[in-house]
A and B are shown apart, each in its own frame.
Chain A
């Protein structure tokens, strides 16, 4: 039986179908990346797995048990870090650890928190508030907080989306090495094919909404540890990247459509000086014109 399983999951928001018939099955210890365009329901998908929202139909199950709500067995790393701004790095992680391991004594919990702060290399900054940290550091705190509660599965919701390219690369390597040592099951949501290829065992593209669903999964057989410089010249890497990218572009081409826009012509006629001053809008030769535009 699959470790994490989604069966025919659908989700609507106000009559607007976001996800429909999503089927996904992930084995224990697997690193799966879901790649898709922005605003196509990636965050909705991971929120469904995390249990933050309930599916309209279908079911999500972890280790055979149906997900009823959020819980610390599914560690979610939020897109925007979601650190509590009034708590220091240490306190943010301690809040999670104290809640999830209440049976431990204080020394053990403290050591546990310190261990995870050290894992993301932030021991020097453990007493700082989030606003005193850079974006990359904040996301590392967020990763540490999630890992510290020892979840069965790690859900990464575009964790590096808001970071600059250099920090992003560093953190990708850190995530890769943490995964190597912890061997957790990971679902990574991303919009970067390169990032997915660098980290994942399997890449699943998300089609374009309304009613997005998962495309054909692409296994990534590149050997680990993967070196980003060497990868660029690897023919297998190039082949996979082209495959995934073409799949994604294909979704988009299928959606090509036209919309009608109301256009207002820019010319303005001379003001009518006889009209009362208070209510004298600019006069135009022809108020509007409808035009169809192809959206690429």
Chain B
């Protein structure tokens, strides 16, 4: 296809519309099913003080299945006849809320994003903010630990032989598996155990991309740059700060970006298991409360926040890539 102006904007929008339409089609919707006979309903309607004239219109609507219209246009009639109806969800996946239901149900969280109505009933940005703070803390721990470990791996073959197998074993372990261990480790810290366990999980899971990318980056430093330092007889410290670290930065930032993505994955898991307020905690609590609209809303929020974090990091990364 030829490139046209704004295709970077229009094509993704089209993609999302396709997704929304598909979702809406497979999702269920609310209808009212008549439980008694139509005439019985008619008797109620005609029996109402000003209901007689309406009956014909109401009857057509009921036959057409437009019961919701009656609810809206003639609430007093609806009140009288609703006992003859039963609410029912129909559709391909009846329990899946559709687009409109999701939007209506989530609106209070979006229009007032910083509201605090209760521990688990807060605006979405406030929830996101809680999660981001925790992610930031765990992420910083991951970087502070991960970068030196990466440098050791990249610089020392002995260290690599010793610890690389261990890292390969720990790396694929899911955040969900680390959290219980974290809870055990920090059990004695009392009420903050959940927080520490979450930080432990985020740091441990988010560390590996930084560790591995830093190690690869250190090994990829051109021998010529090191020779420049050797000819100048740079001290070990200067070799590290003036040559190794700047030369490794582009790789490190790739690691930082991937780590941030994993940290964000881990926070959701950690919040779900600990029940902390936050984007993931909200999701779990709404699942327990059977408010399915909010589950979808949470998923979308988590995805969007993850996307924004990734974009921001890749901007930073691109700056460092451009230099070397």
Whether A84 touches B231, Cβ cut-off 8 Å, given contacts A78-B224, A99-B238, is no
Question: Could you tell me the distance between the alpha carbons of A262 and B157 in the complex, rounded to whole angstroms?
Answer: 39
Whether B231 and A50, one on each chain, are in contact in the complex, defined by CB atoms closer than 8 angstroms, is: yes
Residue A64 lies at the interface, judged by CB distance under 8 Å to chain B:
no
Chain B residues whose C-beta falls within 8 Å of the C-beta of A96 in the assembled complex: 232
How many contacts A-B (CB < 8 Å)? 51
Residue A75 lies at the interface, judged by CB distance under 8 Å to chain B:
yes
Whether A78 and B233, one on each chain, are in contact in the complex, defined by CB atoms closer than 8 angstroms, is: no
Whether B227 and A70, one on each chain, are in contact in the complex, defined by CB atoms closer than 8 angstroms, is: yes
Chain A residues whose C-beta falls within 8 Å of the C-beta of B232 in the assembled complex: 72, 95-96, 99-100, 149
Most B-side CB within 10 Å, residue of A69, A76, A78, A84: A84
Which residue of chain B is the closest to A84 with respect to CB atoms? B225
Residue B37 lies at the interface, judged by CB distance under 8 Å to chain A:
no
Shortest C-beta distance, A184 to chain B (Å), equals: 16
Residue B230 lies at the interface, judged by CB distance under 8 Å to chain A:
yes
Whether B233 and A82, one on each chain, are in contact in the complex, defined by CB atoms closer than 8 angstroms, is: no
Whether B231 and A74, one on each chain, are in contact in the complex, defined by CB atoms closer than 8 angstroms, is: yes
Which residue of chain B is the closest to A99 with respect to CB atoms? B232
Shortest C-beta distance, A225 to chain B (Å), equals: 30
Residue B246 lies at the interface, judged by CB distance under 8 Å to chain A:
yes
Whether B224 and A71, one on each chain, are in contact in the complex, defined by CB atoms closer than 8 angstroms, is: no
Residue B166 lies at the interface, judged by CB distance under 8 Å to chain A:
no
Bin the interface of chain B by size.
Answer: 10 to 19
Whether A78 and B242, one on each chain, are in contact in the complex, defined by CB atoms closer than 8 angstroms, is: no
Whether A52 touches B323, Cβ cut-off 8 Å, given contacts A84-B243, A96-B232, is no
Chain B residues whose C-beta falls within 8 Å of the C-beta of A72 in the assembled complex: 231-233
Chain B positions 276 through 314: 1 when the CB is less than 8 Å from some CB of chain A, otherwise 0: 000000000000000000000000000000000000000
Whether A85 touches B231, Cβ cut-off 8 Å, given contacts A78-B224, A99-B238, is no
Which residue of chain B is the closest to A79 with respect to CB atoms? B224
Whether A69 touches B323, Cβ cut-off 8 Å, given contacts A82-B224, A84-B246, A95-B242, is no
Whether B228 and A82, one on each chain, are in contact in the complex, defined by CB atoms closer than 8 angstroms, is: yes
Contact check: which of A52, A85, A129 meets B230 at CB < 8 Å?
A: A52
Most A-side CB within 10 Å, residue of B222, B242, B243: B242
Chain B positions 207 through 234: 1 when the CB is less than 8 Å from some CB of chain A, otherwise 0: 0000000000000001011011011111
Residue A86 lies at the interface, judged by CB distance under 8 Å to chain B:
yes
Whether A85 and B324, one on each chain, are in contact in the complex, defined by CB atoms closer than 8 angstroms, is: yes
Question: Could you tell me the distance between the alpha carbons of A60 and B227 in the complex, rounded to whole angstroms?
Answer: 18
Residue A21 lies at the interface, judged by CB distance under 8 Å to chain B:
no
Chain B positions 141 through 173: 1 when the CB is less than 8 Å from some CB of chain A, otherwise 0: 000000000000000000000000000000000
Chain B, range 87-144, C-beta contacts under 8 Å to A: none
Whether B233 and A85, one on each chain, are in contact in the complex, defined by CB atoms closer than 8 angstroms, is: no
Which residue of chain B is the closest to A87 with respect to CB atoms? B246
9 further A-B contacts with Cβ under 8 Å, apart from A74-B231, A95-B232, are A75-B231, A82-B224, A82-B228, A84-B243, A84-B246, A85-B323, A86-B324, A96-B232, A99-B234
Chain B interfacial positions (CB closer than 8 Å to A): 222, 224-225, 227-228, 230-234, 238, 242-243, 246-247, 249, 323-324
